[in-house]
C-alpha cells in the first residue's frame, strides 16, 4: 500500500488578478500562504511518512511545498523538475482572462483553456514572459522550452517524467507532488483513465491536497480531497 498526494499551489498573485500565468514566476498571496498552511496541517494529521517530495521549478509551487514541510517539520530535500511546470499559455501569458473573454469571446477563451489539443498562438521570444528570458530556466536546454502548449502537450511532458521518475516509487513509498492546475490535471487523466471531455471539466482547487491510495499492484483503492468542505462540488473519482 502506498500514497500519492497531489497539491496544487496556494492562490498566487496572478490567480487573484485573473491573469494567465503559465511559466511566469509569481508568488503566493496571503490567502495562498494560508491555504498552504492548512494543507500542511491536513497532511500532518494523516500521520504517514512522505518518502519523496516533488515540485515544479516554479516559485508558487516551491513555496507551497516549503510551507507544507515546515508545518510537518520535515526537512527532506525537494526534487524539482521543469516537467511538472504549469501549461504554457502562449500569447495569453500575462493577459487578464475577463478582458480576453470580451476581446475574443468566452467560447474561444474556454477552448484555449480547456480543450485537449488546441494551442494558443505562440508567445514571442522577445517577451519578458518567454521562458528563455526567465532566469529560473537558465539551465534548461533552450530547445525544450515551450512558447505555447496544449493540454495534450502538457500531458505528454508530465507523464514522461512521472513514468520515468515517480511511478515506480509508488510500489512501496509515499510521494507528495506540489504542482499546478494543468500538470495535476494531466496526472489525474492518466491515473483515473479520464477521457478528453472529462479532463476538460476537472477542476483542481488551490491548496487542497488530493490523496490517492494504491494497493500493491498500483491500482487505486480510494481517493479524496483532504479539505472536504472545499471539495463538495468537485469531481472526484
**C-alpha distance from residue 72 to each of 142, 163, 192 (Å):** 37, 27, 28
Whether residue 205 contacts residue 225, with contact meaning beta carbons closer than 8 Å, is answered with yes
Domain ranges of the chain: 2-169+180-228
- CA–CA separation, 10 vs 8, rounded Å? 7
**Which of 103-112, 114-123, 173-182, 217-226 ranks highest by mean pLDDT?**
173-182
Contact 22, 226 (CB under 8 A): no
Marked catalytic residue, from 9, 88, 130, 180: 9
The pLDDT, as a whole number, for residue 44 is 98
Residues ≥6 apart with Cβ < 8 Å to 200: 114, 115, 116, 151
One of 35, 86, 88, 180 is an active-site residue; which one?
86
Beta bridge partners of 112: none
Which pTM was predicted? 0.95
Contacts of 22 (CB under 8 A, 6+ apart): 86, 87, 88, 89, 90, 92, 93, 129
Instruction: Give the count of beta carbons closer than 10 Å to the beta carbon of residue 132.
Output: 13
Give pLDDT, residue 236. 55
Q: What is the pLDDT of residues 38-96, one digit of tens each?
A: 999 999 999 999 999 999 999 999 999 999 999 999 999 999 999 999 999 999 999 99
Tens-place pLDDT, residues 135-178: 999 999 999 999 999 999 999 999 999 999 999 999 999 999 99
Cα 207 to Cα 63: distance, rounded to the nearest angstrom: 11
110 annotated active-site: no
CA atoms within 13 A on the CB side of 113: 21
pLDDT (tens digit per residue) in 216-237: 999 999 999 999 887 755 555 5
Is-catalytic flag, 9?
yes
CATH of domain 2-169+180-228: 3.40.50.1240
Q: The C-alpha cell of 65 is what?
A: 511545498
pLDDT at 197: 85
How would DSSP label each residue in 73-115? T--PPEEE-GGGSPPP-GGGTT-BHHHHHHHH-HHHHHHHHH-
Amino acid at each position: 500500500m502506498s500514497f500519492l498526494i497531489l497539491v496544487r499551489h496556494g492562490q498566487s498573485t496572478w490567480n487573484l488578478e485573473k491573469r494567465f500565468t503559465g511559466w511566469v514566476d509569481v508568488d503566493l498571496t496571503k490567502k495562498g500562504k494560508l491555504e498552504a498552511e492548512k494543507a500542511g496541517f491536513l497532511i500532518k494529521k494523516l500521520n504517514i511518512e512522505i518518502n519523496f517530495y516533488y515540485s515544479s521549478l516554479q516559485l508558487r509551487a516551491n513555496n507551497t511545498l516549503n510551507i507544507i514541510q515546515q508545518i510537518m517539520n520535515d526537512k527532506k530535500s525537494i526534487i524539482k523538475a521543469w516537467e511538472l511546470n504549469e501549461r504554457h499559455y502562449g500569447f495569453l501569458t500575462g493577459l487578464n482572462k475577463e478582458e480576453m473573454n470580451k476581446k475574443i469571446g468566452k467560447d474561444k477563451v474556454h477552448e484555449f483553456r480547456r480543450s485537449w489539443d488546441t494551442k494558443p498562438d505562440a508567445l514571442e521570444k522577445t517577451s519578458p514572459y518567454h521562458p528563455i528570458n526567465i532566469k529560473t530556466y537558465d539551465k534548461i536546454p533552450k530547445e525544450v522550452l515551450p512558447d505555447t502548449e496544449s493540454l495534450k502537450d502538457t500531458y505528454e511532458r508530465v507523464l514522461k517524467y512521472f513514468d520515468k521518475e515517480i511511478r515506480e516509487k509508488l510500489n512501496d513509498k509515499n510521494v507528495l507532488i506540489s504542482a499546478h492546475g494543468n500538470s495535476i490535471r494531466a496526472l489525474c487523466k492518466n491515473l483515473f483513465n479520464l477521457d478528453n471531455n472529462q479532463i476538460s471539466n476537472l477542476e483542481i482547487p488551490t491548496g487542497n491536497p488530493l490523496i490517492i491510495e494504491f494497493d500493491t499492484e498500483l491500482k487505486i483503492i480510494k481517493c479524496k480531497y483532504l479539505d472536504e468542505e472545499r471539495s463538495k462540488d468537485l469531481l472526484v473519482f
